[in-house]
Structure 1
Amino acid sequence: MKELEQFIENFAKQFNDINPSEINAKTKFKELEEWGSIGALLTIVMVDDVYQKNINGDDIRNAETIEDLFQVINSR
């Protein structure tokens, strides 16, 4: 699960007001106050930069939790 913990940390770094210790794998990221279209774009860029994988808006729309998003990335 170390990879998932690292993904959560990388996800949180995209937002100024999210502390990685305040979110976990089951966090419904779209319910976060900081989430929005810019957050989605930042996440897509982070996944490309850090994981060298491509995700799109549909991937984000179909994911509910941070772990769901992590699983999408791992499936690529």
Structure 2
Amino acid sequence: MQNFIKQFAELFEETDPEVFKAGTKFRELDEWSSLIALALISMIDEEYDIVLNGEDIRDAVTIEDLYNKVLEKK
């Protein structure tokens, strides 16, 4: 989980890494955008060999929710 949060945080250029916790509501971050969503899908595909779709991301509220989606698809 900590590694996933670190990788997630690296997608953001301007947001302080300390903001990223399991319970962070990622869509509430000022820097969140559709481009970061695409980068997230790409990162998860590369690092975990898992394909998330837009619906998976829309259904998730927190970073932990995203992580659990990855675990479900393993």
User: Shared fold by TM > 0.5?
Assistant: yes
Query: Matched residues in 2 for 1:30 and 1:74: separation?
Result: 20
Query: Matched residues in 1 for 2:36 and 2:48: separation?
Result: 17
Number of aligned residue pairs: 73
Alignment-mate amino acid for residue 36 of structure 1: S
TM-score by length of 1: 0.91
Look up the match of 1:36: 33
Query: Matched residues in 2 for 1:71 and 1:19: separation?
Result: 23
Query: Matched residues in 2 for 1:55 and 1:22: separation?
Result: 23
Matched, 1:48 2:45: yes
> Kindly, what percent of the aligned residue pairs are identical?
44
Deviation at 1:41, TM superposition (A): 0.3
Deviation at 1:15, TM superposition (A): 1.3
Cα RMSD after superposing both structures: 0.8
TM-score by length of 2: 0.93
Alignment of 1:17-36 (within 5 A): 17-36=14-33
The list of structure 1 runs, each at least 4 consecutive aligned residues, that deviate by more than 3 angstroms after superposition, is none
Query: Matched residues in 2 for 1:70 and 1:18: separation?
Result: 20
